[in-house]
Amino acid sequence: MSEFSEWFHNILEEAEIIDTRYPIKGMHVWQPQGFKIRKHALQLLREILDEDHEEVLFPLLIPEDELAKEAIHVKGFEEEVYWVTHGGLTPLNKKLALRPTSETAMYPMFALWVRSHSDLPMRFYQVVNTFRYETKHTRPLIRVREITTFKEAHTIHANSEEAEKQVERAIEIYSNFFDQLGIPYMVTRRPDWDKFPGADYTMAFDTLMPDGKTLQIGTVHNLGQTFARTFDITFETSEGEHEYVYQTCYGLSDRVIASLIGIHGDPSGLSLPPSVAPYQVVIVPVLFKKGAQDVLDFCQELKDKIQKAGLRVHLDDRDLRAGKKYYEWEMRGVPLRLEIGPRDIENEKMVILRRDTLNKETIDYQEETLINDLNNILNEIKENLKNKAWNKFQDNIRPAESLEEAGNILKDKKGIISFQWCGDESCGKAIEEYVKVDILGVGEESLDGKCINCGAPAKNLAFLAKTY
């Protein structure tokens, strides 16, 4: 197990995020702390999606014949589908799939829903669990067989320009979401051999985990008219003709939480952005025999005040050594800790510890500006976590001029390699074969570069990395 892998498993357990002892491989239990982080992250995403999407909820089971209708799609998923074959003791005459994703559940219904051009565009999303019988090594939150928090959006448009615009819009939405969590990313177009089964093309978000491997944390697919033809989703144009719709879909999973934990964490444990921290502020009273009650009363009042202002705050008045409490809250990643003892109250001061820097500081306790001061510090923490993560990400993207150089960088430093590529599939496969890692995708157009492998004029800047 790599050092990061070990850290990751330990922190999931110690911080009570996920219990991995459930007796089915790749299926885990969200514990209360993890559930809260998940809930807050979901809330942020819902707020963004609700602006112009409608939330729906489709059944978990998909009839075999619907799943099988779109040939390319089913081919891509055939080895990953779990099947329900019996109702009690009775064999079902039609097998039912546990959704690996919901295109084939939703699109037969879309065919009934879409009537006229005036209905379009339509934008839906749902948050559900999906099941994939993953054959690669499973890892909690990263590669699971039950994706517990699959956030999938599906949109329907009257023409291809609108669908393309929606792809851009979805990229904006996810960028905005990851920015709020301080997760750095690059967006590339996946090579054709790695696109979503049934898509015209796939845009993907990749981040970098501390072990130097990239993690695909979100994807946006332009489906063109492929599924519309298969499921006969048509609309009547203003001229009274019937045309197939254009579709997009995009999704995120539990990996969002994995990257949040992995990227911001450090040897002391979790370090959570305030936006998703179960507690944003924890107050630890520093008690001595004399005056203990006064300190507790003061802290209780302080807690009420902070809570009233809408922050998630906890007063830790357990009868434990302060050091033990500090250790625990640091491990759990609470962004801001306030320590308050009798002398502080007397001097109108408080000691604060920022989890992102682990710096302790004494600041003035000013009644009138208290909430403002705390909000400012929380904001600084958010920005600092984000900047640190982005700096590290960018420092780990390295250009390579030759395959040999790419191979050496991957061996010594890992991370992401940028290189010039002609875009040809066989050339791409040869590059992957040589460096033994995958082409993540292609980025901006290349103006005057030469392909790292064949020397022909390069079409794009592309990226290589060892991936999860």
| Binding positions for ligand PR8, rule: CB under 6 A | 101, 103, 132, 134, 143-144, 147, 152, 196, 216-219, 221, 249-255
Length of the chain: 468
Q: Provide, rounded to whole angstroms, the least separation between the CB of residue 201 and ligand PR8.
A: 12
Distances (CA, A) of 153 to 16, 76, 242, 249, 446: 30, 19, 25, 5, 32
Q: Which amino acid is present at 42? A: L
> Residue written as tokens 């729906």?
56
Q: Which residues contact 37 (CB under 8 A, 6 or more apart)?
A: 17, 257, 260, 272, 276, 277, 278
Pairwise CA distance, residues 368 & 172, whole Å: 38
Q: Provide, rounded to whole angstroms, the least separation between the CB of residue 138 and ligand PR8.
A: 8
Q: Provide, rounded to whole angstroms, the least separation between the CB of residue 251 and ligand PR8.
A: 3
CB 209 within 8 A of CB 468: yes
Nearer to ligand PR8, 218 or 428 (CB): 218
Q: Provide, rounded to whole angstroms, the least separation between the CB of residue 110 and ligand PR8.
A: 13
CB 219 within 8 A of CB 453: no
Cβ atoms within 10 Å, residue 288: 10
CB 29 within 8 A of CB 13: no
Nearer to ligand PR8, 173 or 217 (CB): 217
Nearer to ligand PR8, 147 or 270 (CB): 147
Q: Provide, rounded to whole angstroms, the least separation between the CB of residue 13 and ligand PR8.
A: 19
Nearer to ligand PR8, 66 or 254 (CB): 254
Q: Provide, rounded to whole angstroms, the least separation between the CB of residue 159 and ligand PR8.
A: 21
Q: Provide, rounded to whole angstroms, the least separation between the CB of residue 234 and ligand PR8.
A: 22
Nearer to ligand PR8, 213 or 255 (CB): 255
What is the CB-side half-sphere exposure of residue 444 using CA atoms within 13 A?
4
What is the CB-side half-sphere exposure of residue 404 using CA atoms within 13 A?
0
Nearer to ligand PR8, 250 or 298 (CB): 250
CB 150 within 8 A of CB 248: no
CB 361 within 8 A of CB 377: no
Nearer to ligand PR8, 144 or 461 (CB): 144
Positive or negative torsion for Cα 52, 54, 60, 62 = negative
Nearer to ligand PR8, 253 or 271 (CB): 253
Give kind and range of the element (H or E) at residue 351. strand 349-354
- Taking only Cα atoms into account, the Rg of the chain, rounded to an integer number of angstroms, comes to 25
Which residue's CB comes closest to ligand PR8?
251
Q: Provide, rounded to whole angstroms, the least separation between the CB of residue 205 and ligand PR8.
A: 7
Q: Provide, rounded to whole angstroms, the least separation between the CB of residue 339 and ligand PR8.
A: 39
Pairwise CA distance, residues 148 & 451, whole Å: 41
Between strands 122-131 and 146-157, the pairing is: antiparallel
Nearer to ligand PR8, 219 or 460 (CB): 219
